Amino acid sequence: MGVARQVDKPRACEGRAEGQVEAVPRTRAGLRGPVGRLAYYTRARERFPRRGFRVAICTYVERTAAIHDGLQLRPAGAEDDEAIERLGAAAADGGAIGFRIHTHVRTSGTALTHFSSVVAEDIRNGELVGSARLTLGRFRYEGAERPYALLGALVVHPSHRRQGVARALARWRIERAEQLAGPNVVVVADIQRGNVGSMAAARRWATAFSMPAISVPVPMLSHPPRAPKGVELRAVSGEDLPEVAAGVTEATQEYNFARIWSPKTLEQWLQWVPAGEPVNHYRVATSPSGAILAGLAVREEGLLRTMEVVRMPAAIRLANSVLRVVPKDRMLRNLSVEHFWFLPGQREAATALWQDTRWSFRERASNMLITLDPRSPVLPVLDVKAWTPKTSITTAVRADLPPREDRLVAPLE
């Protein structure tokens, strides 16, 4: 198959030969330009991470709308849903734990975010060979509220891999994100440990990678936990929302990628009904006087999609045969946990809240799923052991500032 490639020089490289080395001030290695300039910046940074200015090597990259003869990118429509589902079934996530997603309810966002999807199509036969999603929202990054673009749900059919399809899908989404959210947008993608292909594709556009977060599925409880003393556990009421929003904000103020919660966004999030009933819930632990000591957000992901585990490393398989985190049919109906926080000194209240949620939602999900920074104060509450089945997630980031390593992360997915 002939490859139609148009070589595009980053502006900073104009008049310079490929491979030529030069020192460029930070501003000239900035990220506002087209994707070509971004690749230029990335490589410069990887090789010469010096302060004040960078030594850059001019590297030219292809910028094409058509990927190959006969292959094109276009926005996805509702009529593509089934073909996207088939594509996902043919290509499991390439990370350490391989999984496929089976979608039950399609949505155009998650109450506070908006999705759009792009597909790569073989125009000779109308077959989809790749698809990917772009989610826009706002989060906290390097201490400031910023627009973000999350690149997710990336799949390329096995028979079309290593031909630049993923690269083209990323470029399309980044350009669209910049059009819609402006040049200040922080582009991120969450990549599971061991996903060599995805990491390689992300290196094309990312300027940095965050410290890894751990992702732990925890089974529901089959026996009720002991009732805690001096702590009440319940769902939030409308009156609690300002206190909850303040608690979450305080706890995640310094985190990268943390969603922004206000009483209003929290209310919108709770009122989201994509599948005939609400899927988002917020639960709290309170003191006898009614003060909120701890809180956690849960999303009944299993109502919207099921995660079929198709591959596990031997050690995890062995641990799972004892712990039974992944059920026999290998279908995970996740109860996703977000923004689990507690006030200083209130770890016991947080533990009681966690255990109670594992029990109260036992019939609505096969397991809890939480992704958190291994340095998070919440980790001890989960009682994760060395042998607990888990994986890790790195966030690829494209931004004007790299994520500082001493900041904790709260990945979006």
Ligand X SMILES: CC(C)(COP(=O)(O)OP(=O)(O)OC[C@H]1O[C@@H](n2cnc3c(N)ncnc32)[C@H](O)[C@@H]1OP(=O)(O)O)[C@@H](O)C(=O)NCCC(=O)NCCS
The residues binding ligand X (CB under 6 A) are 91, 93-94, 154-156, 161-167, 191, 195-198, 200-201, 204
CB 232 to ligand X: min, Å: 40
* Residue type, position 112, single letter: L
DSSP letter for 329, please: T
| Closer residue to ligand X, CB minimum distance, 95 or 389 | 95
Q: In angstroms, what is the minimal distance from the CB of 226 to ligand X? A: 40
* Bridge partners of residue 68, in order along the sequence: 71
Q: How far is the CB of 16 from ligand X (least distance, A)?
A: 21
Q: Compare residues 62 and 240 and give the one whose CB is closer to ligand X.
A: 62
Measured from the CB atom, the residue of 332 and 353 that comes closer to ligand X is 332
Give me the least distance between CB of 95 and ligand X, in Å please: 6
CB of 164 to ligand X, least distance (A): 5
Q: How far is the CB of 161 from ligand X (least distance, A)?
A: 3
The closest alpha carbon to 295, from 350, 347, 346, 356, belongs to 350
Sign (positive/negative) of CA torsion 373, 329, 158, 166? Answer: negative
Nearest distance from C-beta of residue 255 to ligand X, angstroms: 22
Question: By the 8 A CB rule, do 259 and 339 touch?
Answer: yes
| Nearer CB in complex with ligand X: 171/281 | 171
For residues 306 and 333, the answer to whether their CB atoms sit within 8 Å is: yes
Q: CB of 9 within 8 A of CB of 63?
A: no
How deeply is 272 buried, as exposed, middle or buried, from its count of CB atoms within 10 A (0-12, 13-18, 19+)?
A: middle
Which residue's CB is nearer to ligand X, number 346 or number 394? 394
CB of 61 to ligand X, least distance (A): 8
The DSSP line for 265-290 is HHHHHHT--TTSS--EEEEEEE-TT-
Angle value at C-alpha 374, between 100 and 95, nearest 5 degrees: 25
Two tokens at 330? 């290998």
Q: Which residue type occupies 54?
A: R
- Shortest distance in whole angstroms from residue 67 CB to ligand X: 9
**Residue with Cβ nearer ligand X (28 or 167):** 167
Spatial distance between the Cα atoms of 343 and 353, rounded to a whole number of angstroms: 13
Nearer to ligand X, 163 or 252 (CB): 163
Picking from 246, 259, 249, the residue whose alpha carbon sits closest to that of residue 138 is 259
Nearer to ligand X, 140 or 167 (CB): 167
Which amino acid is present at 76?
A: A
Nearer to ligand X, 122 or 348 (CB): 122
Return the structure tokens found at 257.
């990628």
- Name the strand (E) or helix (H) holding 152: strand 144-156
In a 13 Å sphere around the CA of 21, the CA atoms on its Cβ side amount to 5
Integer Cα distance of 332 and 326 in angstroms? 7
Going by C-alpha positions, the residue among 304, 280, 306 that lies closest to residue 108 is 304
